[in-house]
Structure 1
Amino acid sequence: MLKGFREFILRGNVIDLAVAVVIGAAFTAVVNSIVTNLFNPLIGALFKAESLDESLVWTIALPTGSAEVKFGAVIGSVITFLIVAAVVYFVFVLPINKLKEAQERRRKAGVSEPDAPDTELDILSDIRDLLAAQARTRD
């Protein structure tokens, strides 16, 4: 029973998944910090509101009570999602893709295509030519 558990834990994909979760959590903290500390204050200043959650609220009076429909919160969530997606793309994905492209260009420029390997026929032809040249020098 413990042997099976040990094999499960030591599988490469389990370790890779654990690393991905930890890196993902750290990555989420970075993106959230950028959005919270850079973009949200700018949006708040643009809309002259500290938060969209309490703006654009529609109150519906019903016989059993009232309900608040918070359009501002929905709009704020959509804007936050778009900002997070833009930050992830422009701060992380785009620069990494550019680095990969530059690295690929450098690799292609620095490495010449290797010559085609000799086939058996080429080698046998070379041996024949060498033997013929040797025979001519003896005569």
Structure 2
Amino acid sequence: MLKGFREFILRGNVIDLAVAVVIGAAFTAVVTSIVTNIFNPLISLFFKAKSLDDALVFTVGDSVFKFGAVIGAIITFLVVAAVVYFVFVYPLNKVKERAERLREKGVVEPDAPITELDLLTEIRDLLQAQQAPPSVPGAGRHADPLP
């Protein structure tokens, strides 16, 4: 039971997920700081409010509508999405494309791990070499028929 738990914890996906959660929490602090210290002062110039939460507030009866808070959430989402794309997704896609081009050309990086496809290709080539008849000089020529 403990062995199974250890295998579960040490799986690559679980470790990656844990790292993503920690990085996400730290990243949230950065985005919040950007919104609070850059966007909110810009908004206060236009809407005369200290933050987006205080901008575009409408009261109808007892109901309070805070459109500024919604706009702030949208800006935060767009900032997070842009940073994730341009810092993580785009560079990783470029690295994958480069690796694909190298593999297609037959040039494999020295540190690249051997894949199942590489092993199967090598096995196929070895089997074909074993099944091919040995080449004998002159074997391809036709001999003169006997009288």
Tell me, yes or no, whether TM beats 0.5.
yes
- 1:82 paired residue among 78, 82, 87: 78
Normalised to the residue count of structure 2, the TM-score between the two structures is 0.62
Which sits farther off after the overlay, 35-44 or 71-80?
Answer: 35-44
> Which structure carries more helix by proportion?
1
Alpha carbons 1:56, 1:70 under 8 Å: kept = yes
TM-score (norm 1): 0.64
Q: Which residue of 2 aligns with 1:29?
A: 25
Q: Which amino acid aligns with 2:28?
A: N
Instruction: Quote the residue 2:10 is aligned against.
Output: 15
The residue aligned with 1:101 is 97
Amino acid in structure 1 at the alignment position of 2:27 = V
5+ residue gaps, structure 1, are 133-139
Shift of 1:40: 4.4
Structure with larger RCO (C-alpha < 8 A, sep 6+): 1
In structure 2, do the counterparts of structure 1 residues 44 and 101 end up closer, same or farther at CA, with 3 Å as the change threshold?
same
Aligned residues: 121
Q: How large is the Cα RMSD of the aligned pairs?
A: 3.4
CA displacement at 1:91 relative to structure 2: 1.2
Q: Is structure 2 residue 59 aligned with structure 1 residue 59?
A: yes
In structure 2, relative to structure 1, the CA distance for the partners of 1:56 and 1:104 (3 Å cut) is: same
List gaps (5 residues or longer) in structure 2. Answer: 109-120, 140-147
CA gap of 1:106–1:18, structure 2 versus 1, over 3 A, is closer
Q: Who wins on radius of gyration, i.e. which is larger?
A: 1
What is the DSSP-based 3-state SS (H/G/I as helix, E as strand, rest coil) of the residue aligned with 1:59? strand
The superposition leaves residues 32-80 of structure 1 with CA deviations (integer Å, 9 ceiling, x where unpaired) of 233223354332233225421111111122xxxx221211111111111
Distance 2:137 2:34 in 1: 76
The percent identity for this pair of structures is 36
Runs of 4+ deviating beyond 6 Å: none
Whether the aligned pair in 1 keeps the contact of 2:31 and 2:79 (CA below 8 Å) is yes
Cα distance between partner residues in 2 of 1:105 and 1:50: 52
